[in-house]
Amino acid sequence: MEFTVESLEQPALTKAQLADMLFDNIGLNKREAKDMVDAFFDLIAESLIKGEDVKLSSFGNFQVRMKKARPGRNPRTGEEVPIEARRVVTFHASGKLKDSVQAPAD
C-alpha cells in the first residue's frame, strides 16, 4: 500500500492530514486514526525526553545530545549574553531517505 501526499494544499504535512490518510487508506475510523497518530508522536517524544535515541528504519534517527554552554551575542545591541548548556534533538536522515529526496520527482 502506498500513500501519496500530492494533493496537499499547504507545504507541510500535518498530523491531521496523516490521520486522514489512515482513515482513507486503511479504514480506521477518524477517532482511531487521530489516536494512532497522536500515540506515535507521543512515543517518540517520551523516548527523546528520557534521553533515548529513536531510529525509524529507512527514514532516519532522532538523537538527544548535550550542547555546551557558550557565549552568545544579542544581535540588536551587540551585548554578550551567556547561552546555558542544554539538551537538543538532532535528526539524521537515512541514506535511503536522502537518495529518495535527491531523485527527480515523477
pLDDT band at 4 (very low <50, low <70, confident <90, very high): low
Minimum mean pLDDT range among 10-14, 37-41, 60-64, 67-71: 10-14
**Whose grid coordinates read 550542547?**
67
pLDDT digits 0-9 by tens, 58-105: 999 999 999 999 999 999 999 999 999 999 999 999 999 999 989 877
Q: Which residues contact 1 (CB under 8 A, 6 or more apart)?
A: 25, 26
User: Could you tell me the three cell numbers for 67?
Assistant: 550542547
pTM of the predicted model as reported, rounded to 2 decimal places? 0.75
Q: Looking at residue 35, what is its pLDDT?
A: 95
Higher confidence at residue 16 or residue 11? 16
Q: Looking at residue 105, what is its pLDDT?
A: 72
**Whose grid coordinates read 533515548?**
52
Of the candidates 74, 105, 13, 87, the residue with the CA atom closest to the CA atom of residue 21: 13
